[in-house]
Amino acid sequence: MKILILTDLEGVAGVSVDRQLNDIANPYYRMARGFLADEVNAAVLGAKEAGATEFVVADGHGSGFDMMLDFGRISPEATFITGEGNPLVGVDDTFDAFFMVGQHPRRGPRGVLEHTGSNLGNQGTWLNDVEVGEAGLLTAILAERGIPLALLTGDEEVVAEMTPLVQGFIGVPVKRALARQLCVSLHPAEACRRIREGASRAVKALDKIRSWHLSPPYVLTIAFGSCAVAERYAPLVDGEAGHASGLLPYVTRVNENTIRVSAPTLRELGERHYLLNRIV
């Protein structure tokens, strides 16, 4: 049994402020990455205890290659998708399920370090008119390929966010938000204990998972905090919305602050969204 483990950092126990999220020279960041590595290792060990045999970890935070600093804290049975680029490029149809470790909730009024894409730029994202965060979008893309979400770790809000979309996944909340940068967190050792137990339960319950499946056409609507951002993706034509940009024909302008991205498959939609995030 082959498990994909997608990582982020904002949802890790002990991580609560933006200051912990970047800069290799920053001791707070290095400590946070260590907490993440321990949680990933707990997920690997729990899945292995339940019968999983292969583990591929995709580094999904920031640069995409900082986890190499902490490889030594993770079971040597794991392999890694690491480096610059879309980590989903390395995902094929041989995976039986995927875990999300350290995931944060979508942009909104609640949740520890909540955001979708850019914390400051993105004001909301909707997939086929359902509001989603990064967790929801990734789940839909992988479900299209027959890879269900089995385990989700993060704060209470992201677990609640995904509960209506996927039936039967195991959610392991490791902290509770008091404000965006203030939370009640489990001790990292207790978080790892719960994640290990949750990973084992998730592998044993794969046959009970009912993934989120959508019907085409696939459309991602993104609202920005500034019309200047939307203008970079899809300029207004003669002052009107509803036209595609010549550069990106799959992007249309909904209004001053909002664009719409379309694709024939969710996989391609995810690739287009990844590209857009690199343009601005």
209-268 pLDDT, tens digit per residue, is: 999 999 999 999 999 988 888 888 887 655 566 666 556 889 999 998 999 999 999 999
What predicted TM-score, i.e. pTM, was given to this entire model?
Answer: 0.94
86-124 pLDDT per residue, tens: 889 889 999 999 999 999 999 987 899 999 987 657 889
Write the CB contacts of 118 (distance below 8 Å, at least 6 apart in sequence): 277
Rounded (5°) CA angle 39-138-11? 30
**Closest C-alpha among 138, 132, 118, 127 to residue 58:** 138
- Residue 263 amino acid letter: A
With respect to CATH, is domain 2-108+133-208 assigned 3.40.50.10780?
yes
Comparison of pLDDT for 14 and 232, the residue scoring more:
14
What SS3 class is residue 150?
Answer: strand
Q: What is the pLDDT of residue 119?
A: 61
d(CA 41, CA 26): 23
| Nearest CA-CA partner of 111 in 183, 218, 40 | 183
**Where does the pLDDT of residue 60 fall: very low under 50, low under 70, confident under 90, or very high at 90 and above?**
confident
Enumerate the domain spans of the chain: 2-108+133-208, 218-279
Predicted local confidence at residue 91, as pLDDT: 93
Query: Residue 239 has what pLDDT?
Result: 55
- Please tell me what DSSP assigns to residue 88: G
Which residues are CB-contacts of 164 (< 8 A; sequence separation ≥ 6)? none
The candidate with the shortest Cα–Cα distance to 159, out of 139, 189, 188, is 139
pLDDT score recorded for residue 243: 62
Query: Do 229 and 279 contact (CB within 8 A), yes or no?
Result: no
Cβ-based burial of 62 (10 A; exposed 0-12, middle 13-18, buried ≥19): middle
7 or 274, higher pLDDT: 7
Query: What distance in Å separates the CA atoms of residue 241 and residue 269, rounded to the nearest whole number?
Result: 21
Cα-trace Rg, the chain: 18
What is the DSSP annotation of 173-236?
EEEEEEETTEEEE--HHHHHHHHHHHHHHHHHTGGG-B-----SSEEEEEEES-HHHHHHHSPP
Kindly report, residue by residue over 63-88, the tens digit of the pLDDT: 666 677 787 889 999 999 988 888 89
Per-residue model confidence as pLDDT tens digits over 172-223: 999 999 999 999 999 999 999 999 999 999 999 999 999 999 999 999 999 9
